[in-house]
Chains A and B, each alone.
Chain A
Amino acid sequence: MNRGVLTRNYKCILSTFTRAPHIYPVAKSFGRISALTPIRLREYASGNTKEEEIVTRIESMRATAHLGGGINRITTQHKKGKLTARERLDLLLDPGSFREYDTFVEHQCTDFGMEKNKIIGDGVVTGHGTINGRRIFVFSQDFTAFGGSLSKMHAQKICKIMDKAVLVGAPVVGLNDSGGARIQEGVDSLAGYADIFQKNVLSSGVVPQISLIMGPCAGGAVYSPALTDFTFMVRDTSYLFVTGPDVVKAVTNEDVTQEELGGAKAHTVKSGVAHNAFENDIEALQRIRDFIDFLPLSNREQAPIRFTDDPVTREDPSLNHIIPVDSTKAYDVRDVITRLVDDSNFFEIMPDYAKNIVIGFARMGGQTVSIVGNQPLVSSGVLDINSSVKASRFVRFCDAFNIPIITLVDVPGFLPGTAQEHNGIIRHGAKLLYAYAEATVPKITIIMRKAYGGAYDVMSSKHLRGDINYGWPTGEIAVMGAKGAVEIIFRQVEDRTQAEKEYIDKFANPIPAAQRGFLDDIILPATTRRRIIEDLITLKHKKLPIIYKKHDNMPL
């Protein structure tokens, strides 16, 4: 091999690397050059051979790093329908925007023969890049290198970009694909996890943290995604569990597959650990790009505003008819949401979990807003343990990142029963109450239909510092529905139909609340979009001082 030629060759491809770092062109050109180049070319070598030598070495290492665990492991990864760590970054970030840190980092373990077994980069690719021009920090675990297992240096690389992200105020996106702890490193690996956990906690509420689980994520590793703001999964190729099927079998004698135990379905439908799941790697990374577009880069920034063609003054007459005449009839609150927001574009969070409440991001007048809506289609939109927990974490995220909260209320109350009471509906319901009460971002509330009992108070009511509270003419604000109320008030009376009618006349409308100033206005549904956007503009510079405290003590 002729070093001079190689060096020059590497020089020309050096720029290619930094722009678009993928490995195959390199491997290809490497082969071609060596095959075609005549042997005697040494005379062209420059005088400074030492520098050239180093450059050659650097670039050769870089090329190796780009291959991760090697071609064979990459092929295996592909066969599972999974992309490599670097391919994923190509799809997540704007082309050519990725700037890698710590390419050359290697592990320092010397036990169990590990000193002879090193992979440049140590199983994770870290750095920053842009999504539609906005800077984010990323780490992408490389399953081809030591199964993406977490070593001390691996963790250190991740911590570095997390620190940088907090420093400059940019979100962190983690692409998780790791077999777990690097067992050979022992406590060093555990320390690595803990370091990441600590940074997750310190960055929480400072920059948005997003985890995309793209492979296995087991044991202690699961707690990092759990600490981040949003966890997304890829269907059929990602798993999250504290202990795998083998341990489960040994301990509880349960037969369970990985998919059943901790697949995307388990976590998006049953546990509520994951916020959504996507079909495959390509779709997941594209959707994460769309998702990041909604978020401010840090808590120092306002909710972002993006161009839209949807007029801010658009009125929608069909909203006037969207609430069924019969107040016991269901409708899909998402029909209301998509008619209110820009371009009908609603990014729903946790669409398959606790469906009796709908949460997600949208834009109004171009600005990101968050939507919380009771869903009459599922259990009449009642508040229960799961829906309270689902919504409260979301409300807190939005409050931390200056995203206005729009609450659409149609709630018959809290769900009764021993299952709820014994599992702590009091404690969990209090979370939502707490979250709304402490939130200082602009809070706009629309009472579409029912707002009964304590649930009325909870759902961003005037009394919890709601900035703007509207009622639709179909709004009913009362302690309870007419039938139940009349049974209590007129316990002695036989025929309560007259009383019921009287109760409906008095309370099954938004007027009493408006008379007391608990509703700022009663508006025609068609005008809702316009009114909300006007209010968002009015509230743009809302400031609400927060009394100093070390931190609050919300019910958990």
Chain B
Amino acid sequence: MNILTTRTRVVGTRFSANSVIINQKNFAFYRPSIILPARYFHSSLTTYYANIQGPPQSVDYGKTFDKILIANRGEIAVRVIRTAKKMGIKTVAVYSDADARSLHVEMADEAVNIGPPPSNQSYLNIPNILQAIKSTGAQAVHPGYGFLSENSHFVKALNEAGVEFIGPGESAMADLGDKIQSKIIAKQSGVNTIPGFDGVVKDSSHALQIARSIGYPIMLKASAGGGGKGMRIAWDDQEVLDGFKLASQESLSSFGDNRLLIERYIDNPRHIEIQVIADKFGNVLYFPERECSIQRRNQKVIEEAPSIFLDQLTRKAMGEQAASLARHVGYVSAGTVEFLVDPQRNFYFLEMNTRLQVEHPITEYITGVDLVELMIRIAANQKLPMTQEDIKFHGWAFESRVYAEDPEKYLPSIGRLSKYIEPQSLTDKHEVRCDSGIVEGSEISIYYDPLICKLSTYGETRDDAINTMLKALDSYVIKGVTHNIPLLHEVISNQRFRSGNISTKFLAEEYPGGFKGHVVKDESLHELISISAFVHAKRDLRNWSWIDGNGTSFRDNLNKNAPNKWDLWISFNNNKDIEPINVKVEKTGVNEEFEIIMPNFPRTIISAKWPLETPLINAHLRIDNQENRTLIAQYIDPLPIGFRLQYVGTKFDITVHNQRQHELSQYMIEKPKQDLSKVILSPMPGSVVSLAVQAGDLVAEGTEIAVVEAMKMQNVLRASRASKVKKVNVKPGDAVAADEILVELEDVKQ
């Protein structure tokens, strides 16, 4: 409990200090660091105090609320509670049965159980939340993001109950929540929308005329067709003529409707968004942009602020349009206007999110503003404490979304975080911020979004922020669930990403066959082998360090017989393409330095800070007596022979053989893998929704066998070939583990 108290206290002071600066409107002195949640820094309190020069001062936030309820869970609930605490507002957490011991519950002053784990029975259950508000006497509700944050019925219900909603008004929310409606409103308020035409195109010359007025490239499709179905892209007049013919025929034959949609096609777009905030007195401010182009299936993966692509003029134009949209609908509180930006810096309205955005920390980093604080003050009828001129930005910030998911198969992973150590800022600039709602021992359950943490870093320049992010990812220890750090690390260290030449197609273009983890070669191979040799040598020496019980009074002599030279063969269990590599290791000197000699690489001296068997290895490499390198690797688990390391984000199963083991390993027989065509395995931990077969059924290739659900994702499992169902091991509703055999198949006897 002590830890919690400390944490809370530090949070309070940090945010207070920040607000001093805002109130003084001294934006030139913005330090992005000082708005960081202090959870990281409890170990370096003194540094923190030194950094902000003097003890925290009390700040007047004006009259706000005595008590607010946070209708959310996880990191965003924790985030909101932090700001509430610094403002001296009491907090009420709500939680489902699955979250009874989670961090947000622990941090809040009060906590109310609102139902069973499934979110439609708890976090989406409006009556239960209203009951919680009533029983605790909370005056306002912060919805976070997701769940009820964009539910206008909830806002209405709160208004009726006389409780303030910390967010936009009901009607603005409802209007902007509708995709078609919001586009119309945007157009009305002078926001660039994608130029286009929706209606009956008379003939091909009409089509040409429309296309030219829109400007190439254009996209044509049947109005009635949903999504990208039947979409044709034309780059010139000829392609328009061809496209028109096909599209209009198709439109008629498939939908009996000759209306066509012709729109500017945005090739290689970037996703750039503008944060706005508005008070109840008509004041609207816009903030510098966030670029969220690194996406996978429309899910943001990495965001940055500002965007490397925007110039001052575009930035201003986008900001002003966003603000004008907000003004037009009488928007109140924080919101985000999303744009697509084409390579010529034309930008087009996409949608407006009427809530606090997931990636808001990077805006806070570069502007020094606490957005949640502003939201609360606005909800309490305060005027915005600053003007547009006060909003300046400094430096660069990135956010990586760390998820509990397999980055290769994109399947969510669940489990208990057996080891969890968040990265720390290494300097007094507080350049690392982790927004998370979990601690070591927490459970990632099947019920909710598998977000582990939003890891943000800050730097004076984009490169600084990137380098800090790489280090932070290297030293982020997450054990117990599979996570996507391999992908994040790979993207951040990608040269094209570093150059800033990105678009929403980045992931698809860079990893056309899907992401497969880091492939070690050259330098990274040399480094990884050196670290592996070091780890092996240290562990081997430990095995000889008997304090008592080696059965002889000559024990000192025996301990001295411990090896100081190793002739090793290192191979990768999960990458058989790399032949075993012969490494000669020798312990040199008294400083636990080891000399590494391996073919094709210069002689290297490695030393490292590594308390045995702990996750973080801070290694120092001296290569060829010239170059010095420091690197961070992680020791994940011991293996029967060797160990698992994490390096440059990716995990490697390392087998270390001594000379004799290597000689004899040629006789070991590779065991055949389980024949997967005869079983249906659960692809992930979850529950069986339905079973389509029973024992004895004949199934064709592709026949649905079962549906397994986890984290709101339903996976249909199908037969990989024609066969007969031999045995069904589960029934609907059963909880299943990953790779559990659900159904066994057998060959059909002729």
Q: Mark B3-16, 1 if CB is under 8 A from A, else 0.
A: 10000000000000
B590 within 8 A of A: no
CA distance A199 to B261 in the complex (A): 91
Contact with A along B594-634 (1 / 0, CB 8 A): 00000000000000000111100000000000000000000
Instruction: Report the separation of the CA atoms of residues A319 and B442 in the bound assembly, to the nearest whole angstrom.
Output: 10
Chain B, Cβ-Cβ closest to A170: B551
Contact of A135 among B548, B551, B611, B667 (CB under 8 A): B551
**Hey, which chain A residues are within 8 Å of B611, CB to CB?**
309-310
Contact A133 B550 (CB under 8 A): yes
A344 within 8 A of B: yes
Query: Would you call B712 an interface residue if the criterion is a C-beta within 8 Å of the partner chain's C-beta atoms?
Result: no
The CA-CA distance from A236 to B544 in the complex, in Å, is 32
What is the CA–CA distance of A170 and B551 in the complex, to the nearest angstrom?
Answer: 8
A335 with B542: in contact, given A304-B549, A317-B441 (CB under 8 Å)? no
B661 interfacial by beta-carbon distance below 8 Å = yes
Measured in the bound complex, the distance between the Cα atoms of B295 and A493 in whole Å is 63
CB atoms of A308 and B612 under 8 A apart: yes
Q: Do residues B549 and A301 form an inter-chain contact, with CB atoms below 8 A?
A: yes
CB-CB under 8 A from B101, the residues of chain A are 321, 325
Given contacts A309-B612, A317-B441, A321-B441, contact A134 B661 (CB under 8 A): no
Query: Within the complex, what minimum Cβ distance (angstroms) separates A215 from chain B?
Result: 14
Is there an interface contact between B664 and A81, defined as CB atoms closer than 8 Å? no
- A318 close to B546 (CB less than 8 A): no
Cβ-defined partner of B547 (8 Å) among A83, A279, A307: A307
Stretch at the interface among A57-65, A118-126, A187-195, A282-290: A282-290
Contact partner, B660, options A95, A134, A317, A344, Cβ 8 Å: A95
- The answer, yes or no, to whether A293 is at the interface (CB within 8 Å) is yes
Chain A window 470-483, contacts with chain B (Cβ cutoff 8 Å), 1 for yes, 0 for no: 00000000000000
Contact: A282 with B548, CB < 8 Å? no
Q: Mark A302-315, 1 if CB is under 8 A from B, else 0.
A: 11111111100000
Contact B549 A303 (CB under 8 A): yes
The size bracket of the interface on A is 35 or more
Knowing A309-B612, A318-B439 touch, does A286 contact B641 (C-beta < 8 A)? yes
- Given the complex of chains A and B, what is the CA–CA distance between A334 and B441 in angstroms? 13
Contact A338 B551 (CB under 8 A): no
Smallest Cβ-Cβ distance to A88: which chain B residue: B664
- In contact, B549 and A302 (Cβ under 8 angstroms): yes
Closest chain A residue to B567, Cβ basis = A95
Contact of A281 with B418 at beta-carbon distance under 8 Å, contacts A306-B547, A309-B613 already known: no
CB pair A304 B546 closer than 8 Å: yes
Contact indicator A132/B641 (Cβ below 8 Å) = no
A241 within 8 A of B: no
Residue of B nearest to A300 (CB): B551
Complex-state Cα separation, A367 to B561, whole angstroms: 22
Instruction: Give residues of chain B (117-135) contacting chain A, Cβ–Cβ below 8 Å.
Output: none
A278–B641 Cα distance when bound, in Å, is 11
| Chain B contacts for A309, CB-based, 8 A | 611-614
B749 within 8 A of A: no
The answer to whether A338 and B418 touch (CB under 8 A), given A78-B667, A280-B669, A310-B613, is yes
Residues A91 and B546 in contact in the complex (CB < 8 Å), given A135-B551, A317-B441: no
Residues 657-676 of B contacting A (Cβ, < 8 Å): 657-658, 660-661, 664-665, 667-669, 671
List B residues 418-476 near A (Cβ within 8 Å).
Answer: 418, 439-442
Report how far A83 CA is from B669 CA in the complex, Å.
11
One of B97, B546, B561, B641 near A282 (C-beta < 8 A): B641
- The answer to whether B551 touches A81, judged by C-beta atoms less than 8 angstroms apart, is no
- In chain B, what residue has the closest Cβ to A524? B1
- B640 at the binding interface (Cβ < 8 Å): yes
Give the distance in Å from the alpha carbon of A335 to the alpha carbon of B442 in the complex. Answer: 12
Q: Does B238 contact A (CB under 8 A)?
A: no
Question: Which chain A residues (296-353) contact chain B, with CB distance < 8 Å?
Answer: 296-298, 301-310, 317-319, 321-322, 325-326, 335, 338-339, 343-345
A237: nearest residue on chain B (CB-CB)?
A: B669
CB of A229 within 8 Å of the partner chain: no
B558 within 8 A of A: yes
Q: How far is the CA of A169 from the CA of B549 in the complex (A)?
A: 12
Which residues from chain B contact A169 at a C-beta distance below 8 Å?
551
Measured CB to CB, the nearest residue on chain B to A20 is B660
Residues of B within 8 A of A310 (CB): 611-613
Q: A205 to B709, alpha carbons, bound, how many Å?
A: 53
B547 near A297 with CB under 8 A, answer no
The answer to whether A283 and B641 touch across the interface, beta carbons within 8 angstroms, is: yes
User: Within the complex, what minimum Cβ distance (angstroms) separates A259 from chain B?
Assistant: 13
Q: With an 8 A cutoff between CB atoms, is B495 at the interface?
A: no
Q: Which residues 310-334 of B have a CB within 8 angstroms of A?
A: none
A307 near B545 with CB under 8 A, answer yes
| A500 close to B (CB within 8 Å) | no
A305 touches B549 (CB 8 A): yes
Report the Cα distance A88→B698, complex, angstroms.
Answer: 49
Contacts A280-B668, A280-B669, A287-B640 hold; do A304 and B548 have CB atoms under 8 A apart? yes
Scoring A132, A235, A318 by chain B CB atoms within 10 A of each residue's CB, the highest score goes to A132
- Hey, which chain A residues are within 8 Å of B614, CB to CB? 309
Q: Does B416 contact A (CB under 8 A)?
A: yes
The answer to whether A282 touches B664 (Cβ under 8 A) is: yes
Q: Do B549 and A296 touch across chains, with their CB atoms under 8 A apart? A: yes
Complex: how many Å from CA A313 to CA B415?
Answer: 27
Q: Shortest beta-carbon distance, A165 to chain B, in Å? A: 12
Q: Cα distance A344–B661 when bound, in Å?
A: 26
Q: List, in ascending order, chain A residues with CB within 8 A of B561's CB.
A: 133
Chain A residue at minimal CB-CB distance from B419: A344
Whether A81 lies near B667 (C-beta < 8 A) is yes
Which residue of chain B lies nearest to A323 when distances are taken between CB atoms in the complex? B101
Q: Could you tell me which residues of chain B, from 530 to 552, have a CB within 8 Å of some CB in chain A?
A: 542-552
Shortest distance between the CB of A307 and any CB in chain B (Å) = 4
Whether A236 contacts B613 in the complex (CB less than 8 A), given A134-B550, A283-B641, comes out as: no
Query: Are A283 and B640 interface neighbours, CB within 8 A?
Result: yes
A170 to B641 CA separation, bound complex (whole angstroms): 25
A90 within 8 A of B: yes
Q: Is the CB of A297 within 8 A of B612?
A: no
| CB-defined contacts of B100 to chain A, threshold 8 Å | 325
Contact A318 B549 (CB under 8 A): no
* Min C-beta distance of B618 to chain A, whole Å: 14
Q: Does B720 contact A (CB under 8 A)?
A: no
Encode A446-477 as 1/0 by CB contact (under 8 A) with B: 00000000000000000000000000000000
Chain B residues whose CB sits within 8 angstroms of the CB of A303 once the complex forms: 549
B residues 544-574 touching A (CB-CB < 8 Å): 544-552, 558-559, 561-562
B-chain residues with CB within 8 Å of residue A91 when the two chains form the complex: 660-661, 664
Q: Does A262 contact B (CB under 8 A)?
A: no
A293 / chain B contacts, CB cutoff of 8 Å = 543
A373 at the interface (CB under 8 A from B): no
A279 engages B544 (CB within 8 Å)? no
Given contacts A281-B668, A282-B668, A304-B549, contact A345 B613 (CB under 8 A): yes
Alpha-carbon distance between A87 and B664 when the two chains are bound, in angstroms: 8
Residues of A contacting B544 in the complex (Cβ-Cβ under 8 angstroms)? 132-133
> Given the complex, which residues of B lie within 8 Å of A301, measured CB to CB?
549, 551
Q: A91-B664, A296-B549 are in contact. Are A319 and B441 (CB under 8 A)?
A: yes
Smallest CB separation, A153 vs chain B (Å): 28
B638 on the A face (CB < 8 A): yes
Q: Which residues of A contact B612 (CB under 8 A)?
A: 308-310, 343
Q: Is A366 an interface residue (CB 8 A)?
A: yes
Docked complex Cα distance between A297 and B550 (Å) = 7
B416 & A83 in contact (Cβ 8 Å cutoff)? no
Q: With A78-B667, A296-B549, A303-B549 known to touch, is A279 a contact of B640 (CB < 8 Å)?
A: yes
Chain A to chain B: the 3 pairs with minimum beta-carbon distance, closest first = A318-B441, A304-B549, A81-B669
Given contacts A78-B667, A306-B546, A309-B614, 8 further A-B contacts (CB under 8 A): A81-B668, A133-B562, A135-B551, A135-B552, A282-B641, A282-B664, A309-B613, A317-B440
Q: List 18 A-B contacts (CB under 8 A).
A: A81-B669, A87-B660, A95-B658, A132-B546, A133-B544, A133-B546, A133-B558, A134-B551, A135-B552, A169-B551, A282-B668, A286-B640, A293-B543, A297-B551, A302-B549, A306-B547, A309-B614, A366-B547
